[in-house]
Chains A and B, each alone.
Chain A
């Protein structure tokens, strides 16, 4: 093209060195672009917190890097409780989870889903007591009662969740309380005990309300944390937490103004 325009000087051809540098820059640039899109996508698809893992699962961040998504746990599950996340499930793709309202974990004593895991993403030792498999030590989630929609809290007699619980009388207990409204009946309120509950979801499955008033949440979502500031001083076990407590010094800057000047000054301005 440039030959046809006589006044325009012909650009010198690219040297090999420049070509090499440009090609490297192009490759690196495309890799960086692709890398950012890829990372953003992976970050999004692994962000879901509200899913329940099989028994013995490592903590979520470790689980995501360790699970190879082979589905051996799913095949081992005799109740079809476990499924692998499909595209469209909006869960970390290919990883196993369960939906208790559909099929809860029936807590098989031999825990067939855990020992088959080839990568240790489902950890046998975390569901064993003294080296023997013990499904009661599983920690899939925690049952949470919505007192607004639980009819037992209304005063209607229902103990479906209590009866369904495989650790009857430990994970869920019934608390009797006088019903002041009628004056002659009792509330029979289900109370979940976090230390015993495995998160199997049989209570959620059994719940009679239209949308379950008792449902399983992952422990990280369901539970709060008091932190090191608050220790039960009357509890020898809890006092042990002091060993790990870290001292945090907070410093509040003291005003150099005298109290009188401060009060006579523009307080509103200081506030906003």
Chain B
């Protein structure tokens, strides 16, 4: 069904979640709300349930910090949560940087920047795993959490909740990089947190599924997808999107007018049979 609502419903929900979470975090610091305290590095939900960034905890482990029980519980909660809703759902439903890079991507599309830079991407999407490994090595050598001191994600999120300082420069750098240097540059190539959630998402339960019978090969899904290599099965086979690099942003589902893409629960049997 081709209606405005159908074509943008998930985008609306995503922006609603992203901004809503920011408001809840902001309210906790500004007005003492108890719904969601802290920030994306570590939070306290309803003043009881802890939730901590597992990647930050991994860096702490590499740096040789003593892990507190409270932190480990928080990490377990976050890991379980993203295991269920899809690892990189963090990227497209929670991360505030997503709005910045989506804006850059949108501008790329409407200004025709993509035609200037060409379709062939000059950089590998595996850089994020290198950065991930590097962050753990540097954490271990320097004895500090390496990515946490440069992370534009926590810089911006913390900035919005606690005061931003020069943090806006990080937003601008990422925006310019994605707009002029590399399409989906930060989120799709470099961000080690995305890399971390990609690995976690390899096993996650909620997946996008393609129905080849309904596909009319319009390829709208491939145009909107920020990680379009994960949609390799479009028009070829009825398969779930199994790559952990899928962010579950659901843009492909909403642009599809032929009901050829939908959310589904991963079936383990199919996973084994078809592979990736």
Of A38, A46, A83, the most chain B CB neighbours within 10 A belong to A38
- Pick the residue among B44, B65, B142 that contacts A39 (CB under 8 A): B142
Question: In terms of DSSP, what is the predominant structure of the interface of chain B?
Answer: helix
- The residue in chain B whose Cβ has the minimal distance to the Cβ of A87 is B166
Cβ–Cβ contact A75 & B38, under 8 A: yes
Given A38-B150, A41-B150, decide whether A66 and B162 contact each other with a Cβ distance below 8 A. no
Once bound together, how far apart are the Cα atoms of A44 and B135, in whole Å?
Answer: 16
Report the minimal beta-carbon distance from B44 to chain A, rounded to whole angstroms.
Answer: 6
Residues of A within 8 A of B165 (CB): 86-89
The number of residues on chain B lying at the interface, defined by a beta carbon within 8 Å of a beta carbon of chain A, is 55
Cβ–Cβ contact B134 & A35, under 8 A: yes
Residues of B within 8 A of A71 (CB): 29, 38-39, 158, 161-162
* Chain B residues numbered 44-65 whose CB sits less than 8 Å from any CB in chain A: 44, 50, 52-53, 56-57, 60, 63-65
The 3 closest A-B pairs by CB, nearest first: A86-B165, A70-B42, A120-B68
Cβ–Cβ contact A61 & B143, under 8 A: yes
Cβ–Cβ contact A120 & B71, under 8 A: yes
- The residue in chain B whose Cβ has the minimal distance to the Cβ of A45 is B149
- The residue in chain A whose Cβ has the minimal distance to the Cβ of B61 is A65
Q: Give the A-B contact count at a CB cut-off of 8 A.
A: 140
| Interface presence of B18 (CB below 8 A) | no
| Interface presence of A69 (CB below 8 A) | yes
Residues of B within 8 A of A43 (CB): 142
Cβ–Cβ contact A65 & B60, under 8 A: yes
| Interface presence of A74 (CB below 8 A) | yes
Once bound together, how far apart are the Cα atoms of A149 and B143, in whole Å?
Answer: 40
Residues of B within 8 A of A119 (CB): 42, 60, 65, 67-68, 70-71
* Chain A residues numbered 1-41 whose CB sits less than 8 Å from any CB in chain B: 27, 30-31, 34-35, 38-39, 41
- Pick the residue among B60, B133, B134, B158 that contacts A66 (CB under 8 A): B60
The chain B residues found within 8 Å of chain A, CB to CB, are 28-29, 32, 37-39, 41-44, 50, 52-53, 56-57, 60, 63-68, 70-71, 74, 130-131, 133-135, 137-139, 141-146, 148-150, 154-155, 158-159, 161-167, 169-170
Once bound together, how far apart are the Cα atoms of A39 and B146, in whole Å?
Answer: 8
Once bound together, how far apart are the Cα atoms of A119 and B74, in whole Å?
Answer: 10
- Pick the residue among A35, A45, A68 that contacts B137 (CB under 8 A): A35
Cβ–Cβ contact B41 & A69, under 8 A: yes
